[in-house]
Chains A and B, each alone.
Chain A
Amino acid sequence: MIAAALTIPFTVGLGLLFLRKLVSGRAAAGLGAASMAVSLVLLALVWEGKDTISGEVDTEWIEPLGARLHLGATAISWPFLLMTAFIGLLCCVWLIAGDTAPALVGLVLIISASSLGVFASLDFLLFFVFFELALIPMWFVISWWGDPHDSAGRTRAATRFLLFTVTGSALLLVGIVLVARDSGSLQFTEIDGGPLVAAVLIVLGFAVKTPLVPLHTWLPDAHSKAPTVGSVLLAAVFLKLGTYGLIISSGLLSASFADVAPYVAGAGVVGIIWSALACYAQDDLKRLIAYSSIGHMGFVALAISTMSPIGIAAAVFGSVAHGLVTGLLFFLSGSLKDRFGTASMRAIGRGLYARTPWLAVAFVFAAVASLGLPGLAGFWGELLSLRAAYEVGVLDKPYAWTALGLAVLGVALTTAYFVRAIRLLAQGEPVAQEADRDLAVRESVVSVALVVSILVLGLAPGLIVGLYDSGSTVTYEGTYTAVTP
């Protein structure tokens, strides 16, 4: 089933690329949405329980290298898989409009399918292949369909994105080779530890993608120049490739990862403060959301660096919640950019509560979720991160508690910049503009779907957290055990 869940969107995506002249944009998007929906259902059905690998597929691939086509869903990857398929589906629904290019739908499907492949891989080389496969289509998405008012800027942003991530991937590949040589296997189920240098390279590779400060400078440009679906996929799915990779490597290389963990924690916490301050000075809404992603990923990095079961739960929850919440924020800022031709808050003007009421309400909801109001999805990831840092995993106590204090300060700053954004956009004396239009049907469908899922995850955190309750450990057949303090 997993193989089908990957192949269907991939094939449909390739088909749309080749047959882009023959189908209308609307039909292409509908077809894409259908295939992602099928994929989502298959992935939901594949689940067999948290103590086993669900829907495992294991066949020969490149025998001399020991690489196998090894796919399956674990308690860690399953939430990522569902979230990716869900976001992919919503991106296709978003594209059901007259002016959509069929090729863009094709690329979205290929990106989604490749990302699903990353999360489903149980072979490190296969993981890497999917990891790279998702990159190139994204370059096209940004540089061809990016900001229509700034063609030089979007190409520059796309190339910058590609160079940063490819450099990261190169380090990652070397790290994978070292790990494979050390363990004699590429299978997640068999890898047991690796040399320190491999851990450093792999963490660096994923840190570019996550991104951790100071490797983050590609992100604001790429997010702000990408088209709406590009931004959503970048934030909701691409960054998760990084955090998922970090989670995996913290388990596979536990001994050597523990030596790198303090640096990951430090970079994460500095990122929380740094990005929050950067957000406070932004005028471009998409740049603001991009920077806020760095802060949220900082919480995830802090959680992973504790290498405790709570930390794993925090990282998975934080990643999925960020996908939904930031996905919604990027969809809505995309709506604004479609209408006003710019995401500059000053140009969009004040008083959206009066001018486009539902759009404003949805935006405020997303902002409140993103600043971590308890009862909405954004809160639990942050909370569990704080708890993981408080309980102190592999980190020193003073170090972990300093990180905890800075993270708490970051929460306060996050509130400040979102309140500022709400004040600049939603509130204020409304000055009507010609482009004021409230949410269209497709926009409403996407927004409602995300609002509902944010509420559900916020009110029933057990849906994800329950996968990691302290009684059971998350395992790859016994080899993956998180370090307990």
Chain B
Amino acid sequence: MRRWLYVVLTAALAVAVAVWAIPHFDEPGWFGYVGQSVPGIVPPLPSLSPDLFLFPVSAQIVLLAVGIGLLVQIYSTAYLGHHPRYRSYALIIILFLVAMIAVVGTTNLWVVLVGWEVMGLCSYLLIGHEWQTPEARAGAAKAFLITRIADLGLVLAILVIGETYGTYDMIGASAAMSDDGPQSSTVIGLLVLVAVVGKSAQFPLHTWLPDAMPGPTPITALIHAATMVAAGVYLAARLFQFYADSAVVLTAMAVIAGITMLMGAVFAFVQTDLKRALAWSTVSQLALMFAAISAGHPAAGTDHLLAHGVFKALLFLGCGCLMHAVGSSALSAMGGLRRSMPATFWSMTVGFAALAGVVPTAGFFTKDSVLEALLHADRELPGGVGVALFAVALLTSLITAAYAARLWILAFLVRAPDERRAVTHDAPHAMTGPIVVLAVATLALSIGQPFHLGIGLLSTAIAAAGIAAVFVAWRNGRSLDLDAPWLTAELGLDRPYARWIPATLRSSAQAVVDVDRDGVDAYSYGSAFVAHRVSRVLALVQSGNVQRYATVIAAGVIVVTAAAVIWA
């Protein structure tokens, strides 16, 4: 079984990472400054020395990445096992994980950048894995272009950090900062913000993530949970100290997070496709993490990142099981799968509960930590922004609970569509195994999480209200599809990327080609024309006519003589 070779390779990688990462769990300090590094006045020339180093949080994230990567590889042996291009698929997943390790496990900013962009390339290749279909091609190209344009922000941010602190080493830069205080924090922060907004699909660079759905479902799980988008939140938290004192950056991040979390939740509520709904849900949840960072609590953000990584991987892989059974990701093709797919049903129930924030899942605790952080947000954020952000987050929790309940009901509880062939058995073990593991992890990760009583009661009440509203509507026989065409069209926010920018690019490119041919080249044709005319004129004196030569010579002699006489 050659497919299992890649599982073994991934497992080896995962074991190596675990051996490296687990001892770092208990170390004190979050991303605090440790050790020393002597920065110069001028930053050194860039190098790619690995400079491996793990903080406790990075250790957890890197372990999450390889863990989910391993589960995805196992899952794929069944889900995609007979694909003719399985080799390239599995190898790119491994490259993807290595890139994520590079981002998380180093202190060298250039290594971070390499991993960061290699991840972008890997997601481009994997989203476009089914490159015969136009949707996959378009989705892949869009993901790559948007994230790469945003990545330029990171390139510039690294340059500015280097110029400001004299080193490209994160620890060295923090050392320099602890001596001299933070500098250029607004510029650095805004550039980092551009980078992470693109990578983590936040407003207004969010449209690539839902369009990345033509990729194979295990890949979606990998991108949404463990790598790509997680890297954005991680980096924002990791570099937090470089922009922590800039109110401009924090406010901008808070506004972006507020818009994105509400928008993502509303769009997730109106989707008719399970996979796309989950994609919007990721957008919304990531915004929640950014909100925590902007409120000055990056640790709450990374905690939610870990919990979300586990339960979102669970939901996407579960969605893959459902697609495997009914052959489509449309919600209308699902329903009535509770009894025939028990393992998938119970695991995904845990996943949806965590998404909705139901006690005692990990999602409940980490989301409450985020809300707790936002409650005190007005310390970091000016005036009304902090309060508004908290209110938006509560509203988002309500909608999140509602759409989680809606998706759960539509996928499992409603009557199966008549035209569908009966689903008689659950997905293969290689597929149900990973989601059961993830469901257990979703529950187990709640052990030892901090608990905030007031916020906990409030958020439980909100989640219960959201779930109950959907249940009541369903029990009363009302349709759970919201009839709001402008919402299902996602407010036309994709139009600039889908139409205006490509159209502008095409027309200006055509104009450039025309000008290049007819305009810029004019001087060469012009000089050729002039040379031709001059040669025609000069040819007159070489006509071969001796009389004309004699005349010219005589005229010349006269002119020379006259000149000599006059100026002599």
Contact = CB atoms under 8 A, between A and B. Distances in A.
Contacts of B44: 469-470
Interface in A235-281: 274, 277-281
A386 interface: yes
Nearest to A218: B524
A428 B128 CA distance: 10
Interface string B162-186: 1100000000000000000000000
B48 A408 contact: no
A469 B509 CA distance: 39
Given A280-B505, A374-B117, A419-B141, A465 B131 contact: no
A302 to B, nearest CB: 14
Given A280-B505, A353-B131, A416-B505, A462 B152 contact: no
Contacts of B152: 408, 411-412
B449 interface: no
Contacts of A205: none
Given A383-B155, A391-B163, A466-B45, A426 B131 contact: yes
Contact of B141 (A213, A423, A430, A470): A423
B117 A429 contact: no
Interface string A411-436: 11101100110010011111000000
A176 B294 CA distance: 60
A195 B108 CA distance: 45
A426 B136 CA distance: 13
A445 interface: no
Pairs of residues from A and B, 9 with the lowest C-beta to C-beta distance, nearest first: A427-B131, A280-B509, A281-B509, A375-B114, A277-B512, A374-B114, A217-B521, A277-B509, A214-B520
B506 A390 contact: no
A466 B49 CA distance: 13
Given A380-B46, A412-B148, A423 B137 contact: yes
Which one of A282, A351, A384, A428 has the greatest number of beta carbons of chain B within 10 Å? A428
A390 B159 contact: yes
Interface of A: 160, 163-164, 213-214, 216-218, 274, 277-282, 310, 313, 351, 353, 368, 373-375, 380, 383-384, 386-387, 390-391, 408, 411-413, 415-416, 419-420, 423, 426-430, 459-462, 465-466, 468-470
B121 interface: yes
B551 interface: no
Contacts of A160: 524
Nearest to A461: B46
Interface of B: 42, 44-48, 110, 113-114, 116-118, 121, 128, 131-132, 137, 141, 144-145, 148-149, 152, 155-156, 159-160, 162-163, 505-506, 508-513, 516, 520-521, 523-524
Nearest to B141: A419
A461 B48 contact: yes
Contacts of A313: 45
A213 B516 CA distance: 10
28 contacts: A214-B523, A280-B505, A281-B506, A281-B509, A281-B510, A281-B513, A313-B45, A373-B118, A374-B113, A380-B46, A383-B46, A384-B46, A387-B159, A390-B159, A408-B155, A411-B152, A412-B149, A415-B148, A419-B145, A420-B141, A423-B141, A427-B137, A428-B132, A430-B132, A461-B47, A462-B45, A469-B44, A470-B44
A408 B156 contact: yes
A80 to B, nearest CB: 19
Contacts of A428: 131-132, 137
A213 B110 CA distance: 32
A415 B145 contact: yes
Contacts of A430: 132
B127 to A, nearest CB: 11
Nearest to A371: B148
A313 to B, nearest CB: 7
Given A428-B131, A466-B45, 11 more contacts: A277-B513, A313-B45, A368-B121, A373-B117, A384-B45, A387-B159, A387-B162, A413-B505, A427-B132, A459-B48, A465-B46
